Amino acid sequence: MNDSFRYDVGIVGLGYVGLTLATVLAEVGMKVLGVEKRKDVVDLTNAGKPHFSEAGIDEALSRVVKSGNLVSAQDFNPSAPCDVYIITVGTPLNADGKARLDMIEAASRQVAENMPDGALVILRSTVKIGTARTVVAPILEASGKSFAIAMCPERTLEGKALQELRELPQIVGADSQDVRDRAAAVFRRLTNTVVQVATLETAEIIKLVDNTYRDVQFAFANEVARVCEVYGVNAHEVIASGKLGYKRTNVPLPGLVGGPCLEKDPHILFQSARDRGIALEITQSSRLVNERQPYETVDFILAEMARRGLTDTAEIALLGMAFKGVPATDDLRGSMSLKVLDALAKARPGLRVRIYDPVVPAADLQAQVPGHTAFDSLAEAVEGASVVIIANNHPDLGRKQPIDLHELMGPKGFIYDYWNHFSNLSPAELGRSYFAVGNIKRTV
Ligand SMILES: NC(=O)c1ccc[n+]([C@@H]2O[C@H](COP(=O)([O-])OP(=O)(O)OC[C@H]3O[C@@H](n4cnc5c(N)ncnc54)[C@H](O)[C@@H]3O)[C@@H](O)[C@H]2O)c1
């Protein structure tokens, strides 16, 4: 590499967001440096191997590393600056529920130290409103160098990230047209649709609103399920029939609501509002409904076990550990399946649950969820279990009909399905031992 070498883009943080973005930018011919503090991730990336499962990334990453367009390192190289810096580090909540800023601050300091005069810095992580202006910009300013700053939030779905990075409209927020145009030029390499918005905060709020909107909708579906349950009505039928040919409602199906984004973004939105003295009641209540659901439903499962005389030694199989099954992912962060496990363990300390996921290999599952027994096949996990809990919406978990699952299960057993995989079947086909969220009417 000669002394005048410059990268087009430097990305700080090669997690789900950083690595997928780095890969697609390198695919369109940009010279990308991915800076990642975890050495194992740097080594894997430079070997062309992704550190998570994502549709299409194995081939794409291997191609861009071979072509030399994507290089990873644990820090920036002072003799090879970048024209554009993109910050994609994590912003999880602290133990006290507040949005963490330390990783954004550390990444901003790294960029400030290494950027040349006039660099464009893009914040892509999901942040509290005002972070770009009051946290990132002051750190960059302290370097004494000139810079431009834009907020361009990531909105892709895990499992479809590579496709969506080329298809979704990209939000570009900055305070001046000149900076918006510079940031838009980066994303126009990927997609024709760039949506420029007036300020940094506008873009920050768009990201939080998009995810909170989904959380609120799912919470309403879960609320519909709760009222249907107390009236002995099937919520699946209410929701599906109510919107058939009737476009004015579009209630989603009830189910576990989690994942690395939905578990925190609404919190970040209402904390941002609270900082300015505003309470966001709908946002806050929706989180309450979605966060309470695993505990409330486990209460039902335990009561049903007691009703059937299933003792504390009865085996429980929990199927679907990733936070979602569609699009498929191996990501367990924020997974409500873990909350279901937590609720079970609180009720029955020392309980060892059989766990299975169609995407996550048993060895990885065992390492990530110690204290339980992981299986590589659904049939093995279910064999002899008295309670089968279906916790995510991966289509593989809906392939074996309840009647076939019962063949494998122990006597007096029942199925509890968080995703209504089988609610389209008639009660006769389901038998008396199938319950789903919003469908807990007992037929015996
Ligand atoms: N996962 C998603 O699908 C998704 C979607 C949209 C937005 N987001 C948001 O994007 C951000 C990143 O999410 P993610 O899922 O990629 O997070 P992640 O935790 O998977 O990845 C962040 C990476 O940054 C690295 N890192 C942290 N500080 C660093 C530093 N100073 N220097 C170098 N590397 C550093 C970490 O080691 C980690 O590998 C978050 O704010 C998240 O809310 C995520």
Does residue 223 fall inside a structural domain? yes
Which ligand 1 atom is nearest residue 15's CA?
21
Q: Are residues 188 and 295 in the same domain?
A: no
Q: Which of 140, 164, 198 delimits the end of a domain?
A: 198
Locate tokens 């037929």: which residue? 443
Question: Could you give the number of structural domains in the chain?
Answer: 2
Q: Are residues 251 and 364 in the same domain?
A: yes
Which ligand 1 atom is nearest residue 265's CA?
43
Q: Is 261 in the pocket of ligand 1 (CB under 6 A)?
A: yes
Q: Is 37 in the pocket of ligand 1 (CB under 6 A)?
A: yes
Inter-residue contact 83 to 8 (CB < 8 Å): yes
Q: Are residues 392 and 424 in the same domain?
A: yes
Q: What is the CATH number of the domain that holds 354?
A: 3.40.50.720
Q: Which of 212, 210, 226 is nearest to 292 (CA)?
A: 226
Q: Are residues 338 and 279 in the same domain?
A: yes
pLDDT of res. 312: 77
Q: Is 154 in the pocket of ligand 1 (CB under 6 A)?
A: yes
What is the Å distance from ligand 1's center to 414 Cα? Answer: 39
Output the tens digit of pLDDT for each of the chain's 444 residues: 555 789 999 999 999 999 999 999 999 999 999 999 999 999 999 999 999 999 999 999 999 999 999 999 999 998 999 999 999 999 999 999 998 999 999 999 999 999 999 999 999 999 999 999 999 999 999 999 999 999 999 999 999 999 999 999 999 999 999 999 999 999 999 999 999 999 999 999 999 999 999 999 999 999 999 999 999 999 999 999 999 999 999 999 999 999 999 999 999 999 999 999 999 999 999 999 999 999 999 999 999 999 999 987 899 999 999 999 999 999 999 999 999 999 999 988 878 899 999 999 999 999 999 999 999 999 999 999 999 999 999 999 999 999 899 999 988 999 999 999 998 888 778 777 999 999 987 544
Which ligand 1 atom is nearest residue 158's CA?
3
Q: Which of 256, 228, 226, 257 is nearest to 242 (CA)?
A: 228
Q: Which of 146, 170, 198 delimits the end of a domain?
A: 198
Contacts of 44 (CB under 8 A, 6+ apart): 50, 51
Q: Are residues 168 and 300 in the same domain?
A: no
Phi/psi for 336 (5° steps) reads -75, -15
Our mutation pick for probing the ligand 1 site, out of 16, 39, 94, 122, counting the most ligand atoms within 8 A of Cβ, is: 16
Does residue 185 fall inside a structural domain? yes
pLDDT of res. 444: 41
Does residue 208 fall inside a structural domain? no
Does residue 34 fall inside a structural domain? yes
Q: Is 110 in the pocket of ligand 1 (CB under 6 A)?
A: yes
CA gap 136, 125 in Å, rounded: 12
Q: Are residues 164 and 81 in the same domain?
A: yes
Q: Are residues 41 and 92 in the same domain?
A: yes
What is the Å distance from ligand 1's center to 92 Cα? Answer: 9
Inter-residue contact 258 to 289 (CB < 8 Å): no
In this structure, the residue with its CA closest to atom 26 of ligand 1 is 13
Does residue 68 fall inside a structural domain? yes
Contacts of 370 (CB under 8 A, 6+ apart): none
Q: Which two tokens stand for residue 352?
A: 């060892």
Does residue 167 fall inside a structural domain? yes
Which ligand 1 atom is nearest residue 124's CA?
10
CA gap 286, 269 in Å, rounded: 12
Burial of residue 311 (CB within 10 Å: 0-12, 13-18, 19+) is exposed
In this structure, the residue with its CA closest to atom 10 of ligand 1 is 125
CA gap 264, 268 in Å, rounded: 6
Which residue range is the domain that position 79 belongs to?
7-198
Q: Are residues 194 and 223 in the same domain?
A: no
Q: Are residues 190 and 218 in the same domain?
A: no
pLDDT of res. 442: 59
Phi/psi for 310 (5° steps) reads -80, 125
Q: Which of 140, 127, 113, 119 is nearest to 183 (CA)?
A: 119
Q: Are residues 262 and 386 in the same domain?
A: yes
Please work out, in degrees rounded to the nearest 5, the angle formed at the alpha carbon of residue 383 by the alpha carbons of 377 and 385.
Answer: 120
Does residue 137 fall inside a structural domain? yes
Which ligand 1 atom is nearest residue 126's CA?
41
Q: Which of 145, 171, 198 delimits the end of a domain?
A: 198
Does residue 442 fall inside a structural domain? no
Q: Are residues 154 and 251 in the same domain?
A: no
Q: Are residues 194 and 224 in the same domain?
A: no
CA gap 174, 298 in Å, rounded: 46
Q: Which two tokens stand for residue 400?
A: 């074996």
Eight-state DSSP code of residue 307:
H
Give the SS3 label for residue 104.
helix
